[in-house]
Amino acid sequence: MAGTSAGIVAGLTAAALGAVGFLAYQAQTTVPAKLGGSPGPGASAAAAASKAPRHRHNPTALPGGTGAGERVVYSVDDDRVWLIDAHDRVQRTFPVRPGNLDPLPGTYWVSSRSNAVTGSDGVPIEHVVRFTSVDGVAVGFSAAVGDGSPTAADPGVKTGGIRETRADGNLMWQFATIGVRVVVIR
């Protein structure tokens, strides 16, 4: 009987690993050509190093080449975020204030979340949505608790927080759950 149970567990484990491997392969092969390239640390596929195409008459429009389906798009050059639903519709776009460590362009996934913590700059923050790290410092979206006014961090402190207003932080918290894709572009 014990051998049968172990065999069932081993079979289920193998099936689960196979399914995860297949899904990872499928995700990798469906990355648009514009997102192809060498993956950065923690990224599945790097975005093009050049700046993603922008709409000349609407600078807040979603840049092209960011993929399809539900995702968060973050432009390190424009300091802007787009929340995109499963039908490729922009649900919200808003400006952000990044720390001094930028993630490499690429595709990441939300890996952890915290309701309330203290940021690497010593500021109390809420609705933290992390998706990678740079130089050992977590990088993610968050909102400063209080009035949301910018604070000057010690220039010697590495900061990976991408700060949003509290209202935008609430939306990000609801939208970007564990496993949601984050596409970082220039």
Q: Please list the helix, strand and coil fractions of the chain in percent, rounded to the nearest 5, in that order.
A: 20, 30, 45
CATH fold, domain 35-185, is: L,D-transpeptidase catalytic domain-like (2.40.440)
Question: What's this model's pTM, rounded to 2 decimal places?
Answer: 0.70
* 3-class secondary-structure state, position 55: coil
pLDDT, tens digit, for every residue of 61-96? Answer: 899 999 999 999 999 999 999 999 999 999 999 999
Q: 133, 135, 142, 74: which is closest to 114 by C-alpha?
A: 142
Pairwise CA distance, residues 120 & 184, whole Å: 21
**Residue extents of the structural domains in the chain:** 1-30, 35-185
Q: Is the pLDDT of residue 38 over 60?
A: no
